[in-house]
Structure 1
Amino acid sequence: MSYYRLFRGFFRTIFSLVFRWQVIGREHIPKEGPVILCANHISLWDPPLLGSGIERQVFFMAKEELFRIPVLSFLITKFGAFPVKRGAGDRAAIRSTLKLLEEGKILGIFPEGTRSKTGEVGAGMPGVAMFALRSQAAVVPVAIIGPYRPFRPIKIVYGKPIDLTSLREAKAGSDTLKETTDLIMAEIRSLHEQHRSKVSV
């Protein structure tokens, strides 16, 4: 058994027993080919939750400082994380991400760039749009509905892939990036609003 499957099994046990997780929309994840999972961000638990809800392995960007901590670096690397410099245009991370998608893998990303303090879905950063437009990946919106409290339900909802055909055919530029980002965030927000009132207690 790979380290990833081992860690995923561990987190699935935690989410099932401690947080009574509810997973919706697994069927919307393509069984093969590149995928970008775009989720709102409310907790440090979000990356393992995002990856644990589906069968295919999910890869994540993580701030490079985490890779300087020996044990943590080993764990997050085995769970599919790779380093990125925050607040800068990290070309190596961009190349790694695009290569990962070219290889038909799944990228998990949190477009807001930071955790929401209110639990509401905020504005997105343009990085996710760049990856979406420069690849042919299926872009799947994901809503994480919390909060994470012991023995209270946490819900993760995988939505249908977003149709970006017209935006990919449009002339590249800041307007296209903004429109793509806004569309992705709107889909996440819609899922969040649709399902947060349906969390069973």
Structure 2
Amino acid sequence: MKGFYRFARMVVYSLLKPLYRVEIIGIENFPKTGPVLLCSNHIDNLDPPIIGITAPRQIKFMAKEELFKIPVLKNVIHMLGAFPVKRGFADRDAIRMGLKVLKEGEVLGLFPEGTRSKTGKLGKGLAGAGFFALRSRAIVLPCAIIGPYKLLGKVKVVYGKPIDFEQFRKQKISAEQATEIIMREIQHLLEKDPSSYV
């Protein structure tokens, strides 16, 4: 991790730790090296920092363009490695940046739903996640955030088993089909017997 990212991680951890009991599950599933496409459900604005303080490697998030229009915040998230994406249509600059992150062997963080779930339930994933999985050599890492975020309540971050997409690349499945595979794995983590996470 780079210096500023490490520092910011410590600051965010110190701020969130008194507010939520964050439990990390499956951290051993997180690849130590190589390109990783981390895909998670999205239930709250706190999801990116929660993942950031629990992941053992720096995450470069693809974030909605609106965040980069907020003074001060835009500079901070840019320094943390995040980059903007225009929602609603194919953003070629964001696609190029995402592929660059993976090509350089880093971790790209995505919320395939594209926006926060208003019900807390997993929504339909967009084809972008599948596109990055198929067009790169990255290992796909499903992640589930189990809330809700309640003051002093428990928030669980579950890292699932990595998905090796090489077989799917050879089968030349569509980006939509690839995303469905990823979303099924995230759903599986959300539906897993709660007692197994105690």
The normalised TM-score by structure 2 is 0.93
Query: Considering only aligned residues, what root-mean-square deviation do their CA atoms show, in Å?
Result: 1.6
Distance 1:196 1:91 in 2: 40
Distance 2:79 2:150 in 1: 26
Task: Give runs of aligned pairs for residues 110-189 of structure 1, distance below 5 A.
Answer: 110-171=111-172, 176-189=174-187
Distance 1:88 1:97 in 2: 15
Q: Quick one: structure 1 residues 24 and 161, their matched pair in 2 at CA, closer, same or farther if it must change by over 3 Å? A: same
The match for 2:97 is 96
Distance 2:92 2:23 in 1: 37
Distance 1:121 1:195 in 2: 17
Tell me which stretches of 4 or more aligned residues in structure 1 moved more than 3 Å.
195-200
The normalised TM-score by structure 1 is 0.92
The question of whether the paired residues in 1 share the 8 Å contact of 2:25 and 2:197 is answered with: no
Q: Which runs of 5+ in 2 are unaligned?
A: none
Distance 1:182 1:55 in 2: 26
Identity %: 51
Q: Quick one: structure 1 residues 93 and 59, their matched pair in 2 at CA, closer, same or farther if it must change by over 3 Å? A: same
The match for 2:191 is 193
The match for 2:54 is 53
* AA of the residue aligned to 2:6: R
Distance 1:13 1:189 in 2: 30
The question of whether the paired residues in 2 share the 8 Å contact of 1:153 and 1:199 is answered with: no
Distance 2:71 2:195 in 1: 41
3-state SS of paired residue (2:183): helix
Q: How many residues align?
A: 197
Report the Cα offset of residue 195 of structure 1: 5.3
